[in-house]
Amino acid sequence: MSALDSALRAKLTEAPVAGLSTQLRRLGIHGATIDGLRSLAPGSKVVGLAKTLRYVPLREDLFAERGGGQNAQKRAFDALEPGEVVVIEARGQVDAGTLGDILALRAQTLGAAGIVTDGAVRDFATVAALGIPVFAAGPHPAVLGRRHVPWESDTTIACGGATVQPGDVIVGDSDGLVVIPPHLAEEVADRTLAQEREDAWIAARVTEGVPLDGLFPLNESWRAVFDAETEREADS
Amino acid sequence: MSALDSALRAKLTEAPVAGLSTQLRRLGIHGATIDGLRSLAPGSKVVGLAKTLRYVPLREDLFAERGGGQNAQKRAFDALEPGEVVVIEARGQVDAGTLGDILALRAQTLGAAGIVTDGAVRDFATVAALGIPVFAAGPHPAVLGRRHVPWESDTTIACGGATVQPGDVIVGDSDGLVVIPPHLAEEVADRTLAQEREDAWIAARVTEGVPLDGLFPLNESWRAVFDAETEREADS
Amino acid sequence: MSALDSALRAKLTEAPVAGLSTQLRRLGIHGATIDGLRSLAPGSKVVGLAKTLRYVPLREDLFAERGGGQNAQKRAFDALEPGEVVVIEARGQVDAGTLGDILALRAQTLGAAGIVTDGAVRDFATVAALGIPVFAAGPHPAVLGRRHVPWESDTTIACGGATVQPGDVIVGDSDGLVVIPPHLAEEVADRTLAQEREDAWIAARVTEGVPLDGLFPLNESWRAVFDAETEREADS
Amino acid sequence: MSALDSALRAKLTEAPVAGLSTQLRRLGIHGATIDGLRSLAPGSKVVGLAKTLRYVPLREDLFAERGGGQNAQKRAFDALEPGEVVVIEARGQVDAGTLGDILALRAQTLGAAGIVTDGAVRDFATVAALGIPVFAAGPHPAVLGRRHVPWESDTTIACGGATVQPGDVIVGDSDGLVVIPPHLAEEVADRTLAQEREDAWIAARVTEGVPLDGLFPLNESWRAVFDAETEREADS
Amino acid sequence: MSALDSALRAKLTEAPVAGLSTQLRRLGIHGATIDGLRSLAPGSKVVGLAKTLRYVPLREDLFAERGGGQNAQKRAFDALEPGEVVVIEARGQVDAGTLGDILALRAQTLGAAGIVTDGAVRDFATVAALGIPVFAAGPHPAVLGRRHVPWESDTTIACGGATVQPGDVIVGDSDGLVVIPPHLAEEVADRTLAQEREDAWIAARVTEGVPLDGLFPLNESWRAVFDAETEREADS
Amino acid sequence: MSALDSALRAKLTEAPVAGLSTQLRRLGIHGATIDGLRSLAPGSKVVGLAKTLRYVPLREDLFAERGGGQNAQKRAFDALEPGEVVVIEARGQVDAGTLGDILALRAQTLGAAGIVTDGAVRDFATVAALGIPVFAAGPHPAVLGRRHVPWESDTTIACGGATVQPGDVIVGDSDGLVVIPPHLAEEVADRTLAQEREDAWIAARVTEGVPLDGLFPLNESWRAVFDAETEREADS
């Protein structure tokens, strides 16, 4: 899959996840948030294209075949392209790790944009300190073999209640994570930034003491004021 | 995949799931139970080979592509072979159906051995009355599109916390469901039936008032008695 | 509020909840199922107009004011009109009763159509034996004062994850319960029964061995067959 | 511990659990219900003195020491006295059995009054068919060693959210289970039966169409009627 | 409702929530904590009078009537008085926002004392940075329309498992939140501060190595010492 | 029980919990993590010998006997030896405290190594500021009597899903907590530190861009390199 265009990446980096979620909703997509995870480094932002990885529940006979050595997990990490975000399906199991410090370091070394897992992370403090954005359901000391068999990569998965396909655009911040179908990413980003400008203007009015009634969302008369001021700024 | 041999099917029909689970455990497989489901017709037994079907979480853009018409769900049901058990991954979501009466009827018409879903069933009463064994997480009136996109069949899935591969042997009764790797099915069935005979003999002793101590599990002296009596029966 | 017209009641009694849910969905209403409850008498059907009752969490000072004597619960039951369904908001708490046998008997005596609560029922066996349809989250021996203060009736409430207004149409069967805005009830019932006739015809074809592909949902050519047969029947 | 007096046992067999729970509450005991379990044979009643058994979470080193042979579970069952109820602490874990058919049979043979476990039961159908009342959190095919180490008996335990001491009175029916401190059992039973007579009389009035207001609970004037009628009956 | 007296506000600002909870308990009120929420800015304290706001579950027909424009949410925020705390009933749903940065800013501009919601907050980082104390069940990017219809304000609600009435005193710190009936606030605050002084004195003794036995709670002889020292201090 | 040898304590302080968990797993112990807790002071480490304390569910009659005064909780804290870690069984209940600032201070004064509870902590901020490592399921303002009766100490308990015996070695860091049978502690610590050296060397290779394939875990040729370099270092 092609990398994320740098202009688009810049827009998505600026766009808050809450705003992206709203614009997806306006396009009829309500089920596009990856829920229940948190960033290991509060305040960090992740933007990138999904590299998917699916784990299935531990079954000892299958683990014997597929769990050890250069398994699906390690192959996926070794194959990371710059700008990709690893997204792991771990069925929300919080009582076993899904990756540790060496895997996170490998991702960072290859220029990955981040890691998202709805399972747990081992070596939590070390991983948090690396700098690569990681969103997970929590920490846990156990290896993945306690609950999982690493199964396959680059297929459609479920993560945090959302379906993620390889190449989907993933954006995360302190509000959570959103999955954007790639062909909608530009439009959603543009609409979000436009709405952000409008919301910032509304926030300025609220700070001045203007009531929400008619202002948020903008009614006709307030929109006229907003349009006039915005035009003036654009002209100056 | 080849159908289940009728002699093996007969053994598995006789073997209780609890016993099969114990024998799998002795072979080192602890993670082979599909949990949290119940039979629509209490007392029914299901034995067959898994035909897997995977749903992913509702995402409206993907549902538009894959949800309607002859989708993965309907293709899987139309392709059922006699003796197969449909096993559906629905991520334990109980607030939407994963099949209804027409799909269940199609399965029954094609000679399927049963249906297992970790989601809900629509038309619960009608489906229960059909006669085909169905194990589900509960009833729900809503169509699958409320929470799912039917995605693909004949791949490895997770159902009720267990990994199921196409062709795995599925056995269910009032204790729950077990997944048996096909190459182990004969051995596991045989050991289970042998153990059942032993347990039935132990139960007879318990009924006579013999304490558990030494009897269950059989210690050396009780095993000698059991062996002697069993031999005598075999001779007679 | 006016009672449910008897013709409409008859239609709703015939219409399965799964079908009603589907037709509501076609009108854009997805959040209209009361989830997580079960009938005390499996197989029973409830149809009626909602009489709402709201409990709030136990706070001893408020219970002292409002919990005893002819409280909101008893007033609501004493005020029941024939054909109404009591719908209780109990926030899904299953560790205290929300009504017992005497209340259920009062409802039955007054001709109420049923009782729906997302809390527990005391005197479970006695209430189940009465005959009035009751849907609840489970049994529990404790009085409501263990967790609740009965607060008010005839206001908008949340029950089993759905919003219910006084006078909404409630229909329940073995698939669950659905809330229908009263002005849509006739249309939803009619559409459901029409769809049921179509589905019954499809089921007959499935029984004959016709594949789902093209049949379910009906494609153009199958619909022509269906229309022709239906017409013929109507003519005869 | 001494067995339950037969007169008291008769009273408790007649007294519904809901009523016992109410009377305990009047004595200031609110936390005496064992919650979340259901009877394997709906409609059955259990009355007896608690024989407690505590399991702890599986730790393989401890299981090796204490899990096999005549472990704490089997010793407890072998030591059962007539009229006792085995009560098992299994921390609400529903994904492993806590007993199976042979253990249940041993209990029945020794005249035990019942079995209560907040874990699962193996050989569900067989155990249900035995006749001894069993209340459990559900069925599961796995042996207890999947999640538990049987640890000790005859100590204070937690079961279904309630504390149970050896010798406590256990009463269960379709509403749930209640734990009664032995020194309160007679008083609680008597009060419950008295209240039952009053409630039956109230129910008769409700059937006649009397409103709840003033009747339930009885106000002064209704109580006068009740007392008069009750006296008359006693005289006749 | 009248504002909180500034002397009382000062006392409540000093009083820890744990202590207030203990004193309410001594007055027989055990169900007065709003549970499961956390402060967006750890360490912050909220003290104020409740302004209640109730959301009901999303039902598309009701959202169309009541969800848009100057809905109940916005009317409630526009009507805030200085010193009030918005308390939102969102049924513990963590997968949709219940307010965002503009609403929080409006509350702050009007001098509100804080915001408490048992749902999620959008624009988490921005809201956290504003300075107004906010307690919530977590962050989520989605607008409230994903799960809720804003319904009404200034009625009795349930939030975090507690009943809150308009005008109730809300106090929150790092231990959680407590609801105090207004007529008890002064007494509860005074008792709490007195107990705090006693506990501080006990803590000093513990630091010196005094065992808990007899000291905590104070037995007669230790209380004599405490009283003597306290008097001396008061005299000096 | 004898204190933890200072050399062993030093090793365990250096060893990450994730590594200890892996080595226990290699010895066949998978169920040795205390799950679902978090440190009040992120980044802190706890190492010590378990002093166990068991609470049972609130039952008012038992609380009257055992809840007040110098109860089991206070006796256990007063009896703490330097280097011990209090480990409390609170059945995962997060809606009541299990200790507060004075108890924590007493533990610290006596030289305890830490406190671990699968219930909540009162006076969260004060306890966090003390310095003694505390791991808990969360904060809550209520006293323990809201949900618990402090029962006994120095017996085998369940905490966070793990069985803990008096004298077991407890180690916790940002990944969670692990319970080590004392006779295995030295071996597990040594193996962990050895593995840590290997992992650090692997991490250095990953930083240089070496793929995971063959490197992690070390295949034969990489192990030869590692051994050679390690030897050289040891020689220098």
Tens-digit pLDDT profile for residues B113-125: 999 999 999 999 9
Task: Give F-chain residues touching E213 at CB under 8 angstroms.
Answer: 70, 74-75, 78
The span from the CA of D185 to the CA of D193, in Å, is 12
D10–chain C nearest CA distance, Å: 19
Q: Is the pLDDT of residue D236 over 80?
A: no
Q: What are the tens digits of pLDDT across the range A145-176?
A: 999 999 999 999 999 999 999 999 999 999 99
Q: Is the pLDDT of residue F236 over 80?
A: no
B156–chain D nearest CA distance, Å: 22
E66–chain A nearest CA distance, Å: 14
Q: What are the tens digits of pLDDT across the range E103-159?
A: 999 999 999 999 999 999 999 999 999 999 999 999 999 999 999 999 999 999 999
Output the pLDDT for position D2. 56
Non-local (6+) Cβ contacts of E107 within 8 A are E77, E80, E86, E115, E132
The span from the CA of A100 to the CA of A105, in Å, is 9
Output the pLDDT for position E231. 86
Q: Is the pLDDT of residue C228 over 60?
A: yes
Among D74, D100, D139, whose Cβ lies nearest the Cβ of B176?
Answer: D139
pLDDT confidence of B44, banded at 50, 70, 90?
very high
Task: Give D-chain residues touching F91 at CB under 8 angstroms.
Answer: 91, 158
Task: Give A-chain residues touching B60 at CB under 8 angstroms.
Answer: 28-31
Percent of chain C with pLDDT over 70: 99
Output the pLDDT for position B232. 84
Taking one residue from A and the other from B, the number of pairs with CB-CB distance under 8 angstroms is 61
Output the pLDDT for position A80. 98
Output the pLDDT for position C1. 44
Helix (H) or strand (E) holding C18, with range, is: helix C17-26
D111–chain B nearest CA distance, Å: 11
Which residue, B149, B164, B185, B156, is CA-closest to B115? Answer: B164
The span from the CA of A13 to the CA of A28, in Å, is 23
Q: What are the tens digits of pLDDT across the range A38-91?
A: 999 988 999 999 999 999 999 999 999 999 899 999 999 999 999 999 999 999
- The rounded mean pLDDT for chain D is 96
Which residue, F121, F113, F70, is CA-closest to F94? Answer: F121
Decide: helix, strand or coil at residue C150.
Answer: strand
pLDDT confidence of D233, banded at 50, 70, 90?
confident
Q: What are the tens digits of pLDDT across the range F51-108?
A: 999 999 999 999 999 999 999 999 999 999 999 999 999 999 999 999 999 999 999 9
pLDDT confidence of C233, banded at 50, 70, 90?
confident
The chain E residues in contact with chain F (CB within 8 A) are: 16-18, 20-22, 25, 30, 33, 35-36, 43, 161, 173-176, 178, 199, 202-203, 206-207, 209, 211-214, 216-217
Q: Are E97 and E144 in contact (CB under 8 A)?
A: yes
Q: Are F160 and F17 in contact (CB under 8 A)?
A: no
Q: Are C66 and C151 in contact (CB under 8 A)?
A: yes
The span from the CA of E83 to the CA of A182, in Å, is 47
* More confidently predicted of E210 and B68: E210
Q: Please state whether beta strands D114-117 and D169-173 pair in parallel, antiparallel, or not at all (unpaired).
A: unpaired
Q: Which among D212, D213, D218, D223 is the top mutation candidate for probing chain C, defined by the most C β-carbons within 10 Å of its own β-carbon?
A: D212
Instruction: Report the Cα A28 to chain-centroid distance in Å.
Output: 19
Percent of chain B with pLDDT over 90: 93
Q: Is the pLDDT of residue D138 over 70?
A: yes
D137–chain B nearest CA distance, Å: 11
Task: Give E-chain residues touching C30 at CB under 8 angstroms.
Answer: 60
Non-local (6+) Cβ contacts of E228 within 8 A are none
Among D75, D78, D142, whose Cβ lies nearest the Cβ of B33?
Answer: D142
Residue ranges in chain B assigned as alpha helix (H): 6-14, 17-26, 60-66, 72-78, 101-109, 124-130, 185-207, 220-235
Among B175, B199, B212, whose Cβ lies nearest the Cβ of D141?
Answer: B175
Percent of chain E with pLDDT over 70: 99
B25–chain A nearest CA distance, Å: 10
- The rounded mean pLDDT for chain F is 96
Among F20, F173, F203, whose Cβ lies nearest the Cβ of A105?
Answer: F203
In this complex, which chains have at least 3 CB pairs below 8 Å with chain F? A, D, E
The ipTM, to two decimals, is 0.95
pLDDT confidence of A1, banded at 50, 70, 90?
very low
Helix (H) or strand (E) holding A205, with range, is: helix A185-207
Q: Are A149 and A56 in contact (CB under 8 A)?
A: yes
- Neighbour count for residue D45 (Cβ, 10 Å): 18
Q: What is the mean pLDDT of residues C115-142?
A: 98
Contact F141 E207 (CB under 8 A): no
Q: Which among C58, C71, C109, C153 is the top mutation candidate for probing chain D, defined by the most D β-carbons within 10 Å of its own β-carbon?
A: C109
Q: Which structural domains are found in chain E, ordered by start?
A: 6-181 (3.50.30.40), 188-235 (no CATH)
The chain E residues in contact with chain C (CB within 8 A) are: 28-32, 56-62, 91, 149, 151, 156-158, 161-163, 165, 179, 181, 184
- The rounded mean pLDDT for chain E is 96
Output the pLDDT for position F1. 44
The span from the CA of A130 to the CA of A116, in Å, is 15
Task: Give A-chain residues touching E122 at CB under 8 angstroms.
Answer: 18, 175
Taking one residue from B and the other from D, the number of pairs with CB-CB distance under 8 angstroms is 76
C35–chain D nearest CA distance, Å: 18
Contact D109 B216 (CB under 8 A): no
B85 has which bridge partners? Answer: B50, B114
pLDDT confidence of B62, banded at 50, 70, 90?
very high
Among B30, B175, B199, whose Cβ lies nearest the Cβ of D102?
Answer: B199
Output the pLDDT for position F2. 56
DSSP label at residue C209 = T
pLDDT confidence of E2, banded at 50, 70, 90?
low
Q: Which amino acid does the sequence have at B9?
A: R
- Neighbour count for residue C31 (Cβ, 10 Å): 20
The span from the CA of A97 to the CA of A99, in Å, is 6
Task: Give E-chain residues touching C31 at CB under 8 angstroms.
Answer: 57-60
Q: What is the mean pLDDT of residues B208-224?
A: 97
Q: Are B2 and B162 in contact (CB under 8 A)?
A: no
The chain D residues in contact with chain C (CB within 8 A) are: 16-18, 20-22, 25, 30, 33, 35-36, 43, 161, 173-176, 178, 199, 202-203, 206-207, 209, 211-214, 216-217
Taking one residue from C and the other from E, the number of pairs with CB-CB distance under 8 angstroms is 61
The chain E residues in contact with chain A (CB within 8 A) are: 69-70, 74-75, 77-78, 94-95, 97, 100-103, 105-106, 109, 122-125, 139-143, 145-146
The DSSP line for D8-70 is HHHHHHHS-HHHHHHHHHHTT----EE-S-EESSTT--EEEEEEEEEEEE--HHHHHHHTSSS
Output the pLDDT for position B180. 98
Task: Give F-chain residues touching D177 at CB under 8 angstroms.
Answer: none
Task: Give F-chain residues touching A53 at CB under 8 angstroms.
Answer: none
Task: Give D-chain residues touching B199 at CB under 8 angstroms.
Answer: 101-102
Q: Chain E residue with minimal CA distance to C184?
A: E61
Q: What are the tens digits of pLDDT across the range F156-172?
A: 999 999 999 999 999 99
Q: What is the mean pLDDT of residues F18-41?
A: 96
The span from the CA of F188 to the CA of F132, in Å, is 25
| SS (HEC) of chain E | CCCCCHHHHHHHHHCCHHHHHHHHHHCCCCCCEECCCEECCCCCCEEEEEEEEEEEECCHHHHHHHCCCCCHHHHHHHCCCCCEEEEEECCCCCCCEEECHHHHHHHHHCCCCEEEECCEECCHHHHHHHCCCEEECEECCCCHHHCEEEEEECCCEEECCEEECCCCEEEEECCEEEEECHHHHHHHHHHHHHHHHHHHHHHHHHHCCCCCCCCCCCCHHHHHHHHHHHHHHHHC
Name the token pair of B128: 């229960």
Residues in chain D: 236
Q: Chain E residue with minimal CA distance to F72?
A: E213
Peptide bond into A217 cis (omega under 30): yes
Strands (E), A97-226: 114-117, 120-121, 134-136, 138-139, 148-153, 157-159, 162-164, 169-173, 176-180
Contact A97 F178 (CB under 8 A): no
Among F161, F175, F206, whose Cβ lies nearest the Cβ of A105?
Answer: F206
Contact D212 C142 (CB under 8 A): no
Name the token pair of E12: 């409540």
pLDDT confidence of A198, banded at 50, 70, 90?
very high
- The rounded mean pLDDT for chain B is 96
Task: Give A-chain residues touching F174 at CB under 8 angstroms.
Answer: 124-125, 139
Q: What are the tens digits of pLDDT across the range D173-232?
A: 999 999 999 999 999 999 999 999 999 999 999 999 999 999 999 999 999 999 999 888
Output the pLDDT for position C224. 97
